[in-house]
Amino acid sequence: MVQTLALNETLKNRSVLSLMEWSPAEIQRVLYTARVMKQEPLSPSFRHALEGQHVALIFELPSTRTRVSFQVAIESLGATAVVFEWNQSQLGRGEPIKDTARVLSRYVSGVVARVRDHETLQEWRKWASCPVFNALTNRMHPFQVLADVMTVWEKFGYMSGLKLAYFGDGNNMANSYLVLGAKLGMDVWIATPKDFQPAADVVQWARQEAQLTGAGIHITDNPHDAAAGADVIATDVFMSMADDPALKQVKQELMAPFQVNQQLMALAKPEAIFLHCLPAHRGEEVTEEVLEGPQSVVFDEAENRLWVQKSVLYHVLADSSAVLGG
């Protein structure tokens, strides 16, 4: 049985909108705790860590993996999840976020929110007196990339120096890979059409951070250059939930050369793995052959959402005396 893990007090009561504000040591500590939790899922060291607490789960956009994994993570730590849809609350009728956030903060210990616009989540953090956790915005998807690098760590035994190549839309996943790769010293390649590159300010920030960690940050419109010698190949849907539907045909035409297929995978290392945050559109951003192939680890990746979310909740919300006393 594992020993009770001491909490990282620098993470206590911290909101998680992106991982830009986290240190590499804090990220590594969360990943280590996640792996311990996965190895000993029924350990009493964690079962009562959040006992008596309530955490709100709010969804403006659809969710399967995030909704279920967060609810399971919350309840497996001894807390209660309070789940509701944006449009089934007063938010859907126009109540200001500043009012809802201040009220909910008196009921719950934390708020997990999936929202369309990142600015909406920043408004939540401004007015809430409890931690706010980003379950996806149009700018960042921090818990997904934490799950991704946990999967990479499990498969390779390390992260620093590995080449991770992402293909497709320069969306929240591309932005998040830049952030986490820069923090962990990875060689990150983002291959996108010129009209759909990741956020310029995120690219600039990642390049500055890379100078401290030895990471490599590369933005290209050549998918072959990105795939060559890669350890990790990743993609996401070409059309994100927050996209204007009118862009669908244009995006699909421009991004067709960035499809992850067997020919692209053959340019990577023989032991390379394939990541996709799911849901996948087979035949668009990835072929059935790759998604269901021996290099695909998408279901390990999906499972690891549970463990990284549980780890972050533990470090942010658990009380040190309660944990050590449990």
Give me the pLDDT at residue 4, please.
54
Give me the pLDDT at residue 207, please.
98
What single-letter amino acid sits at 288?
E
Active-site residue, selected from the candidate residues 29, 114, 125, 315: 114
Active-site residue, selected from the candidate residues 14, 65, 141, 315: 141
Give me the pLDDT at residue 2, please.
45
| CATH number for region 9-140+305-325 | 3.40.50.1370
Whole-number average pLDDT of the chain? 94
Q: What's the predicted TM-score (pTM) here?
A: 0.94
Task: Tell me what the mean pLDDT of segment 164-180 comes to.
Answer: 97
pLDDT tens digits for range 304-314? 999 999 999 99
| CATH number for region 144-302 | 3.40.50.1370
**Is residue 123 scored above 50 in pLDDT?**
yes
- Is 130 in the active site? no
- Is 236 in the active site? yes
Tokens of 144: 């997904």
Active-site residue, selected from the candidate residues 29, 65, 125, 305: 305
Active-site residue, selected from the candidate residues 29, 277, 295, 309: 277
In angstroms, the Cα distances linking 104 to 62, 69, 115, 189, 238 are: 21, 22, 16, 40, 35
- C-alpha–C-alpha distance, residues 275 and 278, integer Å: 9
Q: Please, which pLDDT band fits residue 1 given cuts at 50, 70 and 90? A: very low
pLDDT tens digits for range 205-238? 999 999 999 999 999 999 999 999 999 999 999 9
Active-site residue, selected from the candidate residues 53, 71, 144, 259: 144
- Is 305 in the active site? yes
Residues of the chain with CATH 3.40.50.1370: 9-140+305-325, 144-302
**Is residue 289 scored above 80 in pLDDT?**
yes
- Is 201 in the active site? no
Task: Tell me what the mean pLDDT of segment 178-200 comes to.
Answer: 97
- Is 211 in the active site? no
pLDDT tens digits for range 70-119? 999 999 999 999 998 887 777 877 889 999 999 999 999 999 999 999 99
Sign of the C-alpha dihedral computed for residues 12, 18, 22 and 24 taken in this order:
positive
Give me the pLDDT at residue 295, please.
98
